[in-house]
Structure 1
């Protein structure tokens, strides 16, 4: 089932503008994100074709099945609480039955953990982006040779340097394993190329070292150690980096670089926004999506606050949230029995 199917069969119950435009934080380059709620045809719901969520390829448009929507609201999921709290000017469509699901039915002290956890995950995500933003775009894939070392006289030398120093060619080398020596090899050299050695690697992108048949009494030249774990980590990081490069928002990354930031400023803006929403929930028992401190939040996005300043602000908000929670009149958790009964009543109406 696709989004077009939902629309063609009139299965959409709720559709809102979400993201930066809903928070009043949009800029000239902001996308328009859409979130919504749908219900399945009766046969699909009662049969084996239950679908909890439908989205487009970029996840800019996401619809949640009614039961999934209520389940996440009961967990005080930040994204979906904000969907339910949508301002009238952000609601594109609302089926009358959706009026049964009200914000006060779900808000609880549980949101202290969920909003704070989500906010801190944004910090972790920003830290992860730090490492990638700081890497050169021209990251070079290393070969196994870069992780091999020659052992001589209780010292180790990078294999490539050692080969250059002795004017050796790697394809004229032969390796044999050392018993009981993990990733330790005996290295032999045949300058004439008549011994039939296989070299250390056969191709630049080889993922394993080559072994060669060595005749008895052949003189060993050196011991070679292969840092297999280091090579594996490099391959993983290389793959992760280029996957990030492929999927990243180029303009957003360029903005971070131009601002001199070694973190994802947009993620950090949303970290503070989420914590401010959590503070509002604990103190006022409601959610206002459109933020009144637009300029402050955009100053974070625009790189006007340092990473340390943002962390200090986050820590201050976390302390305020903890204090407010102690005197909050909100329940510890939502009334799940009541919410589930409302959900059942809604389904009864929809499937009449």
Structure 2
């Protein structure tokens, strides 16, 4: 018999929540009147679920918008042992933003989890966001036309000791691409001998089969026929263009339109909110290396909100990120933090806590 779904309402009504905290901008001290209220927390499975089939394990429960998320106790500890930034911040939530904390959650010490692995998870994630930001900047600065370029735009005709764009040559000579035959030139990459069928009776294949073609077509050329010119095809350039075109228009289709419009409004050509959190993550990583603590509430609210507002130039933020990354690398090399979290202590405490949670449950 399938188990009934777990919902947030059920977690609350059955007293399954172990930790509930404000998260996101409110926990960071960066909330503005427009900010949403994000909540993260920890729950434990009902006993019947926990001892059910392995495939029935439920690692998290969230609302449809994912701004309220509760992680199952075992999943929470698993992510902490990976130094997952979201979970490390949840573990270190400032007291004033903790909405509820079960006494058993005191069994888990932050000292067990903070390790040099944070350099990879915090700074590594931040740097991945910088890479995305560079890509976003490129898309905004270099928008692509909806009309896709045809393969012929990447071809050049070599004739009379000069090169001419194929589309210009076709126009100037009033030649239909269907009347052209190509044959491969030995030992010449993407170079073709080009023939024209002036009578239409040779049955040449033409240059392509349809407008979205990714390859040029070859034809059977009669023996002794002399090429009128040679054609060079920039296949690598065309392949890259096709990849960029597909990626760009997928991005347009899937982008957060309100975030994009905000980006265009401040005219700095970067996702300001994303860049603010990138700098914030790097600063948290540096704090961890220097203090051994995850400082969730940021002391430089005005500076970070200045980035979010789009007041900073894109290149200056990237420079700041690069400088922070260098400082983080040096700080972690000198840090006395352990290389890895204390897995044995964390898992032992998890067993004790689960035992107490289920000892009086039917």
- Pairing 1:271-310 to 2, within 5 Å after superposition: 271-310=278-317
Of residues 224, 230, 234, the one that matches 2:237 is 230
In structure 2, relative to structure 1, the CA distance for the partners of 1:232 and 1:326 (3 Å cut) is closer
* Cα shift readout 1:316-336 (whole Å, capped 9, x = no counterpart): 545655676577665454322
Of residues 259, 270, 274, the one that matches 2:277 is 270
Q: Is contact 2:144–2:248 with CA below 8 Å preserved after alignment?
A: no
Structure 1 residues without counterparts, runs of 5 or longer: none
Of residues 50, 57, 63, the one that matches 1:42 is 50
Q: Is contact 1:2–1:54 with CA below 8 Å preserved after alignment?
A: no
Partner of 1:98: 105
Secondary structure of 1:208's counterpart equals coil
What is the rounded CA distance, in whole Å, between the counterparts of 1:229 and 1:148 in structure 2?
11
What is the rounded CA distance, in whole Å, between the counterparts of 1:153 and 1:282 in structure 2?
67
The answer to which of 134-143 and 232-241 deviates more is 134-143
Of residues 239, 244, 252, the one that matches 2:251 is 244
Partner of 2:214: 207
* Superposed displacement of residue 93, structure 1: 5.0
Of residues 10, 20, 28, the one that matches 2:25 is 20
* Superposed displacement of residue 193, structure 1: 3.0
Structure 2 residues without counterparts, runs of 5 or longer: none
CA RMSD of aligned residues (A): 3.3
- Pairing 1:148-159 to 2, within 5 Å after superposition: 148-153=155-160, 155-159=162-166
TM-score by length of 2: 0.82
In structure 2, relative to structure 1, the CA distance for the partners of 1:210 and 1:308 (3 Å cut) is closer
Query: Aligned pair count?
Result: 351
What is the rounded CA distance, in whole Å, between the counterparts of 2:97 and 2:4 in structure 1?
19
Secondary structure of 2:356's counterpart equals helix
* Superposed displacement of residue 165, structure 1: 2.1
* Superposed displacement of residue 117, structure 1: 2.3
- Pairing 1:85-164 to 2, within 5 Å after superposition: 85-88=92-95, 90-91=97-98, 94-136=101-143, 138-153=145-160, 155-164=162-171
Partner of 2:8: 7
Q: Is contact 2:7–2:62 with CA below 8 Å preserved after alignment?
A: no
Q: Is contact 1:3–1:54 with CA below 8 Å preserved after alignment?
A: no
Secondary structure of 2:194's counterpart equals strand
Of residues 222, 227, 251, the one that matches 1:220 is 227
